Homo-oligomer: A and B are copies of this chain.
Amino acid sequence: MSKITMQEIARLAGVSLATVSRSLKNPNLVTPKTRLQVLRMMEENNYVYNAAAGDLSRRKSSVIGVTIPTTRNPIFASSTLAIQELAQEKGFSIILGNTKYDNAIEQQILQNFQERRVAGVILTGFTLHQEAFIKNLIRAGIPCLVIWEKLNGTPLSSVGFDNFKAAYAMTEYLISLRHRRIGLIIGPFSKVGRVKKRFDGYRSALEDHNIDYDSDLVIENEPVLYDGKEAMTRLMSLPHRPTAIFAASDMLAIGALSAAWELGLKVPQDVSIAGFDDIDFAAFCYPPLTTVRVPSYEIGRLAAKYLIEAIEQGSMRARHYCLETDLIIRSSCCEFSGE
Contacts and interface: CB of A to CB of B under 8 A. Distances in A.
Contacts of A48: 111, 114-115, 140
A94 B140 CA distance: 23
A285 B229 CA distance: 12
Interface stretch (A53-61, A204-212, A214-222): A53-61
10 contacts: A3-B117, A48-B140, A70-B81, A74-B77, A93-B95, A225-B280, A225-B283, A255-B284, A258-B285, A285-B285
Contact of A3 (B80, B94, B140): B140
Q: Specify how many copies of this chain sit in the oligomer.
A: 2
Contacts of A258: 283-286, 288
Contacts of A46: 136, 140
A49 B115 contact: yes
A260 to B, nearest CB: 9
Contacts of A255: 284
A301 B283 CA distance: 32
Interface string A111-129: 1101111000000000000
Give me the 4 closest cross-chain CB pairs, A-B, nearest first: A1-B141, A51-B115, A258-B284, A71-B77
A261 interface: yes
A332 to B, nearest CB: 12
A57 to B, nearest CB: 10
Contacts of A88: 97, 108-109, 112
Nearest to A91: B112
A171 to B, nearest CB: 24
A135 interface: no
A302 interface: no
Given A52-B52, A71-B81, A112-B93, A284 B117 contact: no
Contacts of A1: 59, 140-142
Contacts of A97: 84, 88
Interface in A246-287: 254-255, 257-258, 261, 280-281, 283-286
A115 B91 CA distance: 11
Contacts of A52: 52, 55-56, 61, 116-117
A72 interface: yes
